[in-house]
A and B are shown apart, each in its own frame.
Chain A
Amino acid sequence: MTTTAAPPPALRTPQRKRRSRIEDRGWLFVAPFALVFALVFLAPLAYSVYLSLFRDQLIGGNAFVGLDNYIAAFGDSKFWDGFGRVLLFLVVQVPIMLLLALGAALAIDSARLHAAGFYRMVIFLPYAVPAVVAVLMWGYIYGDQFGLTRNLNDLLGGQVVQPFLPEWMLLSIGNIVTWQFVGYNMLIFYSSLKTIPNELYEAASIDGAGAWRTIFSIKIPAVRGAVVIATIFSIIGSFQLFNEPNILKPLAPNVISTFFTPNMYAYNLSFAGQQYNYAATIAIIMGVITAVIAYVVQLRGSRQEAR
């Protein structure tokens, strides 16, 4: 007690030094992660910035071109075509998916559902299905060869439902993504609903609040943080859209172009066209746009929380 209250200066310094020496052992735990992280995150990031500033030319070889690649990308209609598509996808699919997930989480949490645990498990199940399998499965179901769509069209008489038409394609992809990720988001919301202290519910029921009132006054405000996180993850996911269109492409080659999404564009630029520098530029632009939007969402989310 006395030593901490008034330690002699001679003793104080070595003690603090030992203290910080112990604390610095934390590095031993963090170091393996940090090393691999530097190799697979920081190095490629730095390398892609470097790549984006150069261009392989027929004459002169690899040359520094400054921001020329970026200027080219901003005037590239293929890039903007894909960008517009993922933006549309984001604006339509993400709210639908998150609302479904929130609804499911509230329903499961409400105690008014029979066999709630079973529902929670089954709704989460699609998350465990690999994207490739999910897309192949839905792709076959969509198809007019042996899919349910053909059965449905036979029933309705004529080609009523055609998921692979250009105007339906994005919706068809949105359905697959929604199917895959509602359960995952539901689980995030459900976990955060579970952390609401019971006193709050008790107080609400004493005040005579009904189920709906409880939902809007207690539950939804309580999951706001989780909604912000889920929104950010969904924005990142939408802007990265690749697997679904790329796997569906063989089934609808004329509808899904090589620049259907920015990510497919970057992929095809580098692996079909060997244009690594330009592909890196596209990837960086998308990364910056994603990070900015994610940051804005987070800022808005936390500001509303503070209010």
Chain B
Amino acid sequence: MTTATAPRTDTVAVTTERQGARRRFARSSPTHSKKSVVLTIVMALYLLYTLVPLAWLVINATKTQPDLFSTFGLGPGNSFALFDNIAQTLTYRDGIFLRWLGNTLLYVVVGAGGATLLATLAGYGLAKYNFRGRKAVFAVVLGAIAVPGTALAVPTFLLFSQLGITNTPWAIIIPSLISPFGLYLIWVYATDAIPTELLEAARMDGAGEFRTFFTISIRLLTPGIVTVLLFAVVATWNNYFLPLIMLSDPAWYPLTVGLNQWNAQATGVAAQPIYNLVITGSLLSIIPIVAAFLLLQRFWQSGLTAGSVKE
């Protein structure tokens, strides 16, 4: 008995060790080399380029408007006015900034949420059902990616104005619902992540297609869905061109268009520069999205890697 088990445990130990080595190897992919100081310094320079503008933004959000003009760009101001700036930003013109923030959230939740739902359903349908017309759908959607979005902006505006929905949230939300990139990502992801046998088994058990999707498939798709959601959130949060065209009433502006309007206020006839508010508002508007990316890092990075396997 003992002689029989001994070599067996040995082999197990050896394999796990080898697997461990391979995994370590995989993590530091190529030649198991030492860290390079030169490379780290070169990359640090690039990092500096990435961070300086953001640092500038953070530092200058703490300055009063006169200090912006009179003190060194990357140094502190004469007084620390960050909280005063934030309070002013939030209350300026009866708190229009908060209204814009609310609008942005509305567009993001409904637009990006809807885009993710539609892309997930459609990507899954394309990956797991060989329905008639499937190839045509795929060709049309891929072709659409190559069409410049802005080429469609003017006709979309004219079309929407005939439908009477310009200058309403629908004009922003409806076009945001389509994410060809999201569809592509889910299609690739679903092809690999969901075994067709699983769907067959569920069918045998008498589960309907949608029930199977919402109870089984959606869990397997989670990393892909989070990735698509995150990119859709960025796209809608950062959307500028579409609301610029569609909206004329500042009460429906998202943050991007609103901030640009504040900036434009500095020039012209009755110029009323509020640079400190534009800077503070800009800082406030990037915090949520940066936080989302940092918090959901694990999800979207694995989602993207899976997406590129197929390429």
A residues with CB within 8 A of B: 20, 22-30, 32-34, 36-37, 39-45, 47-48, 51, 100, 104, 107-115, 119, 121-134, 136-138, 140-141, 145-148, 150-151, 179, 183, 187-188, 191-196, 198, 201-202, 204-205, 210-211, 214, 219, 225-226, 229, 232, 236, 239-240, 242-243, 247, 250, 253, 263, 266-267, 270-271, 276, 279-280, 283-284, 286-287, 290-291, 294-295
Q: B149 near A240 (CB under 8 angstroms)?
A: yes
Q: B154 near A132 (CB under 8 angstroms)?
A: no
Complex interface: chain A residues within 8 A of B164 (CB):
none
Least distance between B158 CB and chain A CB atoms (Å): 6
Q: Which of A34, A36, A129, A270 contacts B286 (CB 8 A)?
A: A129
Q: A107 near B43 (CB under 8 angstroms)?
A: yes
Q: A151 near B146 (CB under 8 angstroms)?
A: no
Q: How far is the CA of A131 from the CA of B235 in the complex (A)?
A: 10
Given the known interface contacts A107-B43, A112-B39, the answer about A242 and B150 at a Cβ–Cβ threshold of 8 Å is yes
Least distance between B162 CB and chain A CB atoms (Å): 9
Query: In chain A, what residue has the closest Cβ to B104?
Result: A130
Given the known interface contacts A26-B134, A133-B286, A229-B311, the answer about A191 and B121 at a Cβ–Cβ threshold of 8 Å is no
Least distance between B283 CB and chain A CB atoms (Å): 8
Q: How far is the CA of A48 from the CA of B31 in the complex (A)?
A: 55
Q: Which of B25, B240, B292 contacts A130 (CB 8 A)?
A: B240
Given the known interface contacts A27-B125, A39-B174, A112-B34, the answer about A283 and B237 at a Cβ–Cβ threshold of 8 Å is no
- A contact patch SS: helix
Q: A236 near B148 (CB under 8 angstroms)?
A: yes
Given the known interface contacts A211-B33, A276-B154, the answer about A33 and B178 at a Cβ–Cβ threshold of 8 Å is yes
Q: B155 near A137 (CB under 8 angstroms)?
A: no
Is residue B130 within 8 Å, beta carbon to beta carbon, of the partner chain?
Answer: yes
Q: A286 near B148 (CB under 8 angstroms)?
A: yes
Is residue B263 within 8 Å, beta carbon to beta carbon, of the partner chain?
Answer: yes
Q: B237 near A290 (CB under 8 angstroms)?
A: no
A211-B31, A290-B147 given; name 15 further pairs at CB < 8 Å: A24-B129, A26-B128, A29-B209, A47-B158, A48-B151, A111-B29, A113-B40, A128-B234, A130-B255, A179-B50, A198-B25, A276-B158, A279-B154, A284-B151, A287-B151
Given the known interface contacts A33-B183, A214-B30, A266-B154, the answer about A148 and B260 at a Cβ–Cβ threshold of 8 Å is no
Q: A205 near B126 (CB under 8 angstroms)?
A: no
Given the known interface contacts A109-B29, A121-B294, the answer about A48 and B39 at a Cβ–Cβ threshold of 8 Å is no
Given the known interface contacts A26-B130, A30-B121, the answer about A132 and B30 at a Cβ–Cβ threshold of 8 Å is no
Least distance between B114 CB and chain A CB atoms (Å): 8
Given the known interface contacts A114-B35, A287-B147, the answer about A125 and B50 at a Cβ–Cβ threshold of 8 Å is yes
Q: How far is the CA of A128 from the CA of B216 in the complex (A)?
A: 32
Number of A-B contacts (CB under 8 A): 313
Q: A126 near B50 (CB under 8 angstroms)?
A: yes
Q: A195 near B305 (CB under 8 angstroms)?
A: yes
Q: B126 near A30 (CB under 8 angstroms)?
A: yes
Complex interface: chain A residues within 8 A of B297 (CB):
121
Is residue B259 within 8 Å, beta carbon to beta carbon, of the partner chain?
Answer: yes
CB-defined A-B contacts under 8 Å, sample of 30: A22-B209, A26-B126, A26-B131, A29-B121, A29-B129, A30-B137, A33-B122, A37-B140, A40-B152, A40-B178, A45-B147, A48-B155, A128-B289, A129-B286, A131-B238, A131-B256, A133-B256, A141-B73, A179-B50, A188-B308, A191-B304, A191-B307, A192-B308, A201-B29, A202-B25, A236-B148, A267-B150, A283-B155, A291-B146, A291-B147
Q: How far is the CA of A102 from the CA of B121 in the complex (A)?
A: 33
Q: How far is the CA of A205 from the CA of B25 in the complex (A)?
A: 12
